Amino acid sequence: MELTVLNHPLVEHKLTVLRDKNTSSATFRELVSELVMLEAYEATRNLDVVDKPIETPVAPMIGKHIAEPRPIIVPVLRAGLGMLDGMTKMIPSAEVGFLGMKRDEEHPTQQITYANRLPDDLTGRQCFLIDPMLATGGTLVAATHYLAERGAKDVTAVCIIAAPEGIQFVQEHIDPSIDFKVVVCAVDEKLNEKCYIVPGLGDAGDRLYGVVD
């Protein structure tokens, strides 16, 4: 597992506003999108490209073009949807799949899959899993293995905040045959007794879309 933690003043500033409990949902959504665009720069560093001959207004040249098959972006519902706009702005040619998972509250490292809209075969595809919070790590491991069962061997997770416990869980449980990378804006202090990240930013889904009982 390769972990990248962004170290940039713009990220720190936007993340501070994002964390503030007084930040409105509208501002929260915009900041999530902006942070994801900054993360995408690192997350796509090893994106597969091929040569593409073109002509500029001055001369012919050989440029680069994203290779086929196109990468696929997979938001983990529902909070991951808030990150989708930022990712698709940076990789507009990517396809989008959807994966619905939620934490089993009685067993926080176990997940319940309730929806998926993914190709049956992901062989050869570079996959980008997007989910704001890497808390216990259970969702990320389950989602990555879900993609791997469909042939994915190159998976990059883009999260905003991570907990040390979650990072450790992922390192210990992710299938080592997967080329797996994680990009985050910050690694926070710890998880609390309810498995929420401290200091964190609260429930990302609720802050993006409101509370749903």
Annotated binding-site ranges for 5-phospho-alpha-D-ribose 1-diphosphate: 78, 103, 131-139, 203
Question: According to the 3-state scheme, what is the secondary structure of the chain?
Answer: CEEEECCCHHHHHHHHHHHCCCCCHHHHHHHHHHHHHHHHHHHCCCCCEEEEEEECCCCEEEEEEECCCCCEEEEEECCCHHHHHHHHHHCCCCEECEEEEEEECCEEEEEEEEEEECCCCCCCCEEEEECCEECCCHHHHHHHHHHHCCCCCEEEEECCEECHHHHHHHHHHCCCCCEEEEEECEECCEECCCCCEECCCCCHHHHHHCCCC
User: Which residue ranges make up the annotated binding site?
Assistant: 78, 103, 131-139, 197, 202-204
User: Which residue ranges make up the annotated binding site for uracil?
Assistant: 197, 202-204
